[in-house]
Amino acid sequence: MPLHDWNQLNRWDGFHILWITELLRWVKPRLPQGYRAYLGTAPRLAVGDPEGTPDMSVRRGPAVPPPGPELGGAPSDTRLEPDEEIVVGLEEPNLTLFVSHEGWLAAAVELVSPRNKDRPSSCEGSTSRYAGYLQGGTHLVLIDTHARPYAFSFADAIARELQFAQPPVPSPLAVAYRIGEPQGDQRSLLGVWRRPLTVGEPLPALPLPLTVHSEVILDLEQTYMRAADDAYLT
């Protein structure tokens, strides 16, 4: 099925859920023994996070701290109100496909949503998170079917973040990253597959790396077609 022009459609959120689910169904039966695929919300990774694979769980403390010793001489029953309260927009986490092995995050598949790049701070935060997968040793497939903003590309932004040269890759695009053998001095080889996406054309196949020597080939066209059928976009 040809790629739709998502500039003209406003049904991405529902389609995102259907497509990432189809990708999960595609990946699960093709994984080697010991690997597990599942859906979850993307962790807030950033370049400069501690080394190692991030803990996928999120722990939330109580909304109000328990009673404790008085601070700054204020009575324990006195509550300090904020100077002001402001309505701000928060980034809504994407539903992401994760692949783990022996408790470690091996790979991730991210479908870019318009809100991931709807303003400069969104572009910067999402780029840092995507690059954080790679710096944490996690292979990544990133799929962006949205052309806007026309002057921005996550593939180009990740290359700048990680300081390597590559030809420009405008959106829409699909790109796969494989973390390779260590090269010393806390460096590794990075394998990159860059595929431009074209409205009205079929989607390509792309590898989802699991290790340096193993991968699952993602059929983006077939999974996209199944999701489009369920979303009545055919």
- For the stretch 10-29, pLDDT in tens is 899 999 999 999 999 999 99
- Tell me, what's the pLDDT at 74? 52
Cα 41 to Cα 35: distance, rounded to the nearest angstrom: 19
Task: Tell which residue, 214, 199, 205, has the closest CA to residue 174.
Answer: 205
- For the stretch 70-125, pLDDT in tens is 445 555 568 888 888 876 555 566 899 999 999 999 999 999 999 999 999 999 99
Cα 127 to Cα 130: distance, rounded to the nearest angstrom: 5
- Tell me, what's the pLDDT at 53? 39
- For the stretch 185-200, pLDDT in tens is 767 889 999 999 999 9
| Sequence ranges of the domains in the chain | 12-49+91-230
Confidence label for 52 from pLDDT (cuts 50, 70 and 90): very low
**What torsion, rounded to 10 degrees, do the Cα atoms 38, 42, 46, 52 define?**
-20
Q: How many contiguous H segments (helices) and E segments (strands) does the chain have?
A: 4, 8
